[in-house]
Structure 1
Amino acid sequence: MRELPEIRFLTSGDVTGAEKSTAETAVRSALAGAQGTVTAIRVTLSVVADPALPRPALAQAIVDVDGRRLRAQAAAPALPEAIELLRDRLSVRAAYLRAS
């Protein structure tokens, strides 16, 4: 796998180090086939402590590839699920970038 830049994280709420690690692995996996030079990766992980919300966990990634910005996000009942959805969505966006 090619070298990608360090991922900058922004977190809010109850986000564990293991969840950050899982998100890093997921984002790097999603970008493995991306063509072009990835210059920056920013990931936001957020959990809102409100039991009334159906999807209080949010995972978002913004990736700069050759001056173009890829953005994907997902909300879910729990952060691990949001991270998996984010990986899938980011993979699709990276594939669209390759095709364009």
Structure 2
Amino acid sequence: MTDTDRNEAERAVRAALSDIPGDIDTVQVTLTLLADPSLPRPALAQALVAVDGHRLRAQAAAPALPEAIDLLRNRLSLRVSYLRAS
């Protein structure tokens, strides 16, 4: 992982959580890049967020970390919209 990947993941998660209702208790983000060239999507981005007793989880796999992070942001934003609607 590079600092750029870490910073981009932080920005993506902050953007996805910007309109979240309630207090964010914890956020855990994991970036993984598997060293197996036979895998079509070796880059994995995962987020686990605790908000007022609710847990939001999102993950995305892609050929490269920047793409996985972008997909993670979209999926986490969707989970936030579900939480707002409930």
- TM-score, with normalisation over the residues of structure 2? 0.99
Counterpart selection for 1:94 from 53, 77, 80: 80
Aligned length in residues: 86
Identify the residue that residue 24 of structure 2 maps to in structure 1. Answer: 38
Alpha carbon RMSD of aligned pairs, Å?
A: 0.4
Residues 39-81 of structure 1 show CA distances to partners (whole Å, capped at 9, x for unaligned) of: 1000000000111000000000000000110000000000000
Identify the residue that residue 82 of structure 1 maps to in structure 2. Answer: 68
What one-letter code is carried by the residue in structure 2 that aligns with 1:70? L
Name the SS for the 1:33 alignment partner. Answer: coil
* Counterpart-to-counterpart distance in 1, 2:44 and 2:11: 17
Task: List gaps (5 residues or longer) in structure 1.
Answer: 1-14
Task: List gaps (5 residues or longer) in structure 2.
Answer: none
Superposed structure 1 runs of 4+ greater than 4 Å apart:
none
- TM-score, with normalisation over the residues of structure 1? 0.85
Q: Which aligned pairs between 1:1-100 and structure 2 lie closer than 5 A?
A: 15-100=1-86
**Cα drift, residue 37 of structure 1:** 0.5
